[in-house]
Structure 1
Amino acid sequence: MRLVVHVDGGARGNPGPAAAAAVVSTPEGEVLDEATELLGEVTNNVAEYRGLLLGLARARALGATEVEVVNDAELVAKQVAGEYRVKHPAMKPLHAAALDALGAFARWSVRSVPRADNAHADRLVNEALDGQR
């Protein structure tokens, strides 16, 4: 089963209070699941990776065998796709965890889009940070 996973993470301040979010849908756009996670004080990049990990876990729990991950963090998308190296030592374990989680799927892709095209996940991050979720 192929699912589309919109993920996001954000920190207010860098580092600062942070949250991650994921929206899992069918390729036709039917939302099957959404989730948020408060992360405490972390950097924006950590929050973005945590959003990715959250989305992959939710997709796996729904029985996905293929995932198309959509995010608005070009750095994370390019690191996971192998186009950019992970230089920061603190990011290496998150990168490795993401690759491990992606390896559980028969096929996967990750792409970065403008924030407006990831609005649902972005809204969930802000709602979590505002205490509305």
Structure 2
Amino acid sequence: MSWTLFTDGASRGNPGPAGAGAVLFDAEGRELAARSLHLGCCTNNVAEYRALLLGLQTAVEQGCARIAIRLDSELIVRQLQGRYQVKNEALKPLFADVKRLLARLDSWSVAHVPREQNKRADQLANRGVDEGICCPRS
């Protein structure tokens, strides 16, 4: 069974308050799982990797064996494809964690998508940011 995973990370301030979002669809395009997570303060690239980790963990928990990953982060797509090296020290352990989760799958692919095609994951990432923001009560 092949599923599609869309993920997105958001950071307001870069670094700033951050969140991760992931949504998993089955082969017929039905939403199987949607997750958001507050990340605290981090950069956008860290948030993007944490979102991918959130999505991959969700896929593994759901029993996914084959997955098509769709991201609007060209950096991460190219790093996963081996076209770019991971030079940033903060991203190296996250990249290693992603590779460990990918190794648990039978097969995977990754492709860049425009932001317009990643709206649900973006919505979830922003929910993650908002979950950590405390608003004073009046």
Q: Deviations 1:83-106 (Å, cap 9, x if unpaired)?
A: 110111111111111111111101
In structure 1, C-alpha distance between the alignment counterparts of 2:72 and 2:44, rounded to whole Å:
12
Please name the residue that 1:14 is paired with.
14
Task: For 1:42-121, list aligned pairs within 5 A.
Answer: 42-121=42-121
Please name the residue that 2:136 is paired with.
none
Percent identical: 45
In structure 2, C-alpha distance between the alignment counterparts of 1:63 and 1:55, rounded to whole Å:
13
In structure 2, C-alpha distance between the alignment counterparts of 1:107 and 1:3, rounded to whole Å:
11
Task: Give secondary structure in 1 for the equivalent of 2:55.
Answer: helix
Root-mean-square deviation (CA), in Å?
A: 1.2
TM-score, normalised via structure 1 length: 0.95
Task: For 1:28-47, list aligned pairs within 5 A.
Answer: 28-47=28-47
Count of aligned pairs: 132
Structure 1 residue ranges, 4+ long, deviating more than 3 angstroms after superposition: none
In structure 2, C-alpha distance between the alignment counterparts of 1:22 and 1:82, rounded to whole Å:
23
Q: Which has the larger radius of gyration?
A: 2
Task: Give secondary structure in 1 for the equivalent of 2:56.
Answer: helix
Q: Read off the aligned partner of 1:74 and give its amino acid letter.
A: E
Q: Deviations 1:4-49 (Å, cap 9, x if unpaired)?
A: 1110001001110000010001122100000011000000000000
State the structure with bigger RCO (CA 8 A, min sep 6), 1 or 2.
2
- Displacement of 1:125: 1.2
TM-score, normalised via structure 2 length: 0.92
In structure 2, C-alpha distance between the alignment counterparts of 1:129 and 1:41, rounded to whole Å:
9
In structure 2, C-alpha distance between the alignment counterparts of 1:66 and 1:41, rounded to whole Å:
32
In structure 1, list runs of 5 or more residues that go unmatched: none
